[in-house]
Amino acid sequence: MGLAEGKVVLVTGAAGGMGRAGAEIFGREGAAHVYVVDVNDAGGAETVAAVTGKGGAATFAHVDVTDEEAVAALVARIVAEQGRLDCAWNNAGITDVSGPFSALAKDAWDRMIAVNLTSVFLCMKHELRQMEAQGGGAIVNTSSGAGIVAAPGLPHYTAAKHGVLGITKAAAQEYNNRGIRVNAVCPGMTDTPMIRSWFDSSPEVAKATLAVMPGGRLGQPEQVAEAAVWLCSESAGWVSGLSMVVDGGFVNR
């Protein structure tokens, strides 16, 4: 049996990168159905095709995860169609151009917090309600190495990713005796469209970052996704409140 055998799963930020890799791995590992959640319709359709092309079952849902009504409707839809929600990987996120702390615009701060932190809170809120009602489930949130150490020139990203670890621990503690596990993955620099875009906008930062990365290379989306799928599985049944760093050993703590 696969790690996700018979599970109903949702993955946000699944139109590409780590989210797409996760949707494919959940499908490979026997998920009953994978909900591919994103605002990128074309990328979402490609992810669904990748899952179904290998024999899995998947559906795309266009959802802005910063919109609580849309998030609540998503969870209600999944339950109406599948009867339950077993696993959720809250992975949607953005990055930004590096710059001085004192030059950071409030609009940029607000958007970063909304997408990278508030959306995780909103997804967890409605996932937890459903999982408690059905008697259990597993949630994984995407933080970052920047949830542990500061990302140079990105104070708003650093704050949001530290916040993700905080609400992960809070939920894990509160729901510990209700059959719900909540964990986080903390990817290092991973070869995704988001990181490539950030590198393109900040070539000097990119050069300096790669120079200190293990082996001088980026991680692969599948390496992070494998960890997230494992954390959702029964194999991790005694694991909750964990911040799992997946970065080749770059951040030692």
From 26, 157, 175, 230, the catalytic residue: 157
Cβ atoms of 164 and 117 closer than 8 Å: yes
CB atoms within 10 A of CB 72: 16
Q: What is the Cα–Cα distance from 155 to 146, expressed in whole angstroms?
A: 9
Q: Which of 120, 243, 127 is nearest to 183 (CA)?
A: 243
Token couple for 17? 């990168």
Alpha-carbon distances, residue 51 vs 24, 36, 90, 181 (angstroms): 5, 10, 18, 25
CB under 8 Å to 248, separation ≥6 — which residues? Answer: 188, 213, 214, 215, 219
Q: What tokens does 124 get?
A: 């967890």
Reply yes or no on whether 157 is catalytic: yes
**How far apart, in whole angstroms, are the C-alpha atoms of residue 60 and residue 46?**
9
The residue assigned the tokens 């030692």 is 252
Look up residue 38 and give its two tokens: 């994103």
DSSP 8-state symbol, 247: S
Q: What distance in Å separates the CA atoms of residue 218 and residue 245, rounded to the nearest whole number?
A: 14
- The residues assigned a catalytic role are 157
